[in-house]
Chain A
Amino acid sequence: MTNVGIVIVSHSVQVAQGTADMVRQMVGDEVPLAACGGDPEGGLGTSVPDIMKAIDAAWSDSGVAIMVDLGGAETNSEMAIEMMDGDRAKKVVICNAPIVEGAVIAATEASGGATLDEVRGTAEELSAA
């Protein structure tokens, strides 16, 4: 099984890309990773089709953990998951964690071969603290 994949969804393409750069620096190519940001016209916002593409790009049979910034990113990510094929949708979770720290720690956990639940749990500990 491949490692759990990580998807970063921000309202800003620069935040999404910058967060992905920080993740890459930590874990190299050991974790499938994709980032997206911006509304369908490139302004601040998020896009359901872009999120679906990012989930495909970071796909792993072990699952995919999505990191989001503000409300719309979460709502649009939930919508993207619901629009996927049911069996694959069950393997995608949204983590309730700060986007930058959450993505870095989730990817670090994933790079060690952790399960999707473990990856999510570690990321969400950041919010509990």
Chain B
Amino acid sequence: MAVEPDVTRRLIKTVADTIIEHADELTDLDSAIGDGDHGNNMKRGMKAVLEELDSLSSKPFPDALKAAGMHLVMKVGGASGPLYGTLFMGLGKELVEPITQKRVAQALSAAIEAVKARGKSDVGQKTMLDVLAPVAAALSEDKSPADIAAVAREAREKTRGMLALKGRASFLGERSVGHIDPGARSSELIIESIADFVGEET
């Protein structure tokens, strides 16, 4: 069964609203070790996505993800635009309806590879990948939405002890240790909001 337009609309809205609600927190995290623009940038991108909610929810679900990714690319204004844009465009490209957890796991794994290429980065460098990779693994192990959200939270917390090797935070060297990575936090927020949504719907 294909995803209903109403489900697409509510899912995208809950993800965007969650990021917008946490924009100040993301900016604070980014001010500690980066350039302090992550919250505002993501908020601008998600607002652009919300403005297109009618058009997005009229599309087949994979196409809606691709289009949402494109809005992030065009509107975010920082490196997180192409990175999250690549993630959502990659998911849209790989996902096939009807959607199953196995298919989501495969699509996420492929999209993660695209994000690695875009950011010239890998797991263990204190980035969004440090949340997304364990989430993809948990998905493929058929974990429940609540368990997947818990995996995302633990993975975000683990970035606190990591040394940043990518982005502006890498300029700080050892001083980046002890702070949560803002991209890991935004990824966790996105995963958590999707997991909550799926948990409530099923």
Contacts and interface: CB of A to CB of B under 8 A. Distances in A.
Contacts of A83: 73
A79 B85 contact: yes
Contacts of A49: 74
B83 interface: yes
Nearest to B86: A79
Contacts of B44: 39-41
Interface string A33-70: 00000111101111111000000000000000000001
B79 interface: yes
B78 A45 contact: yes
Contacts of A41: 44, 77
Interface string A69-101: 011100110110001000000000000000000
A41 B41 CA distance: 10
Nearest to A45: B77
B37 A78 contact: no
Interface string B43-81: 010000000000000000000000000000111111111
Contacts of A43: 37, 40, 77
Given A71-B168, A75-B83, A76-B81, A40 B37 contact: no
A90 to B, nearest CB: 18
Contacts of A46: 77-78
B156 to A, nearest CB: 21
B143 interface: no
Interface of A: 38-41, 43-49, 70-72, 75-76, 78-79, 83
15 contacts: A39-B37, A39-B41, A40-B77, A43-B77, A46-B78, A48-B74, A48-B81, A49-B74, A70-B35, A72-B77, A72-B78, A75-B79, A75-B83, A76-B77, A76-B82
Interface of B: 35, 37, 40-41, 44, 73-83, 85, 118-119, 166-168
